[in-house]
């Protein structure tokens, strides 16, 4: 870890390890609070005690549905990264990635996803000109989005057809990405996540939702052709058109079946021809085309 000695007083920083805030320097001083990784810190003073560097910090800790908690105290300087620390952006990014990996492991560190979310965001604040800033803002926003999505989908309102009948995921950070990093990989990914707020909960066997969702995904793919999510968006559009073939048939709207089948095949063929090297989307598209040609249902009860 790079030395903290060069860090400027009143510098903005964050902690890449859990830290204990105390009323004064020294391991025997009274404890105030435990600071998880990635907290927003302002360095107020520096001191040395028993040949160990200490810093007095002002910490801001957000609280749900309440004003942020603001607290001042002392902690050991090791593990505190400010803009003056060499390779500080990479250090924060590395710890964020490690935390993200912890969150994905069975039995991983509790709160690791939130640690990663905070660390990525701190990097963008402390090192706004870093080559990692755009990706870090995206990663922070996506972790927050997925955590909120998990909560939203656990509620009864998640089963409603109309997405307006459930609480949406907070889209402010995603929109910030599009504003700060327009026409980039990160704004493309942010725009894709935003589609979640427009999707129905359950279709309930009706055509309204898949018709709307297919249009949304197709529009995204054509507006963001270079996006890492372009092929996936086209597949989602094609699959919904294929599902409409079955829905129209079940609901005796046979006059609409042909157009849906044609649209689904065209979208799937677009994937196969334009995104053949992107993951497994080409074989999945060809599978969908085969099912359409063979009248194999993709939605609803499967015939024996």
pLDDT for the residue numbered 10: 61
pLDDT for the residue numbered 248: 98
Phi, psi (deg, nearest 5) at residue 240: -65, -35
- In order of 4, 6, 77, 84, 138, the CA distances from 48 in angstroms are 12, 14, 10, 19, 38
Strands 31-35, 66-76: parallel, antiparallel or unpaired by DSSP? unpaired
| Helix segments in 9-132, DSSP class H | 88-104, 112-126
Q: How many residues does the chain have?
A: 304
pLDDT of residue 279 exceeding 90 = no
Helices 230-250 and 208-223 cross at an angle (nearest 10°) of 160
What are residue 19's DSSP bridge partners? Answer: 35
Output the pTM of the full model. 0.89
CA pair distance 176, 146, nearest whole angstrom: 17
- In order of 28, 30, 190, 303, the CA distances from 172 in angstroms are 43, 39, 11, 45
In DSSP notation, 207-256 reads: SHHHHHHHHHHHHHHHH-TTSTTHHHHHHHHHHHHHHHHHHHHHTT-GGG
CA 227-118-68 angle, 5° bins? 130
Residue environment code for 204-213, b if the CB has 16+ CB neighbours within 10 A, otherwise e: eeebebbeeb
Start-to-end CA distance of the chain, whole Å, equals 63
Instruction: Classify residue 273 by burial, with Cβ atoms within 10 Å: 0-12, 13-18, 19+.
Output: exposed
CA pair distance 281, 274, nearest whole angstrom: 10
Instruction: Classify residue 231 by burial, with Cβ atoms within 10 Å: 0-12, 13-18, 19+.
Output: buried
CA pair distance 90, 96, nearest whole angstrom: 10
CA pair distance 55, 77, nearest whole angstrom: 6
For all residues of the chain together, what is the average pLDDT?
Answer: 93
pLDDT of residue 2 exceeding 70 = no
Strands 19-22, 31-35: parallel, antiparallel or unpaired by DSSP? antiparallel
pLDDT of residue 9 exceeding 60 = no
CA pair distance 134, 157, nearest whole angstrom: 34
The pLDDT tens digits of the residues spanning 185-234 come to 999 999 999 999 999 999 999 999 999 999 999 999 999 999 999 999 99
CA pair distance 285, 85, nearest whole angstrom: 49
The pLDDT tens digits of the residues spanning 135-183 come to 999 999 999 999 999 999 999 988 889 999 999 999 999 999 999 999 9
CA pair distance 176, 178, nearest whole angstrom: 5
């Amino acid at each position: 870890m790079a030395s903290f000695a060069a860090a400027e007083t009143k510098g903005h920083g964050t902690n890449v390890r859990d830290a204990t805030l105390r009323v004064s320097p020294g391991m025997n001083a009274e404890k105030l609070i435990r600071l998880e990784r990635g907290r927003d810190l302002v360095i107020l003073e520096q001191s040395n005690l028993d040949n160990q560097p200490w810093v007095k910090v002002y910490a801001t800790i957000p609280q749900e549905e309440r004003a942020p908690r603001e607290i001042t105290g002392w902690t050991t300087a090791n593990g505190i990264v400010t803009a003056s620390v060499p390779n500080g952006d990479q250090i924060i990014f590395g710890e964020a990635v490690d935390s993200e990996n912890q969150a994905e492991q069975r039995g991983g560190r509790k709160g690791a996803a939130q640690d990663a979310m905070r660390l990525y965001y701190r990097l963008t604040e402390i090192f706004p000109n870093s080559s990692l800033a755009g990706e870090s803002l995206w990663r922070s926003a996506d972790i927050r989005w997925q955590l909120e999505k998990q909560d939203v989908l656990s509620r009864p309102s998640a089963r409603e057809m109309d997405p307006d009948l459930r609480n949406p995921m907070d889209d402010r950070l995603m929109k910030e990405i599009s504003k700060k990093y327009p026409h980039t990989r990160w704004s493309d990914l942010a725009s894709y996540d935003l589609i979640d707020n427009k999707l129905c909960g359950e279709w309930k066997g009706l055509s309204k939702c898949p018709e709307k969702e297919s249009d949304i995904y197709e529009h995204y793919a054509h507006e963001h052709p270079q996006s890492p999510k372009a092929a996936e968006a086209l597949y989602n559009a094609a699959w919904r058109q294929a599902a409409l073939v079955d829905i129209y048939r079940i609901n005796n709207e046979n006059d609409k079946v042909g157009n849906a089948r044609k649209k689904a095949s065209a979208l799937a063929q677009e994937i196969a021809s334009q995104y053949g090297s992107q993951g497994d989307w080409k074989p999945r598209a060809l599978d969908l085309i085969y099912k359409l040609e063979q009248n194999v249902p993709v939605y609803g009860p499967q015939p024996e």
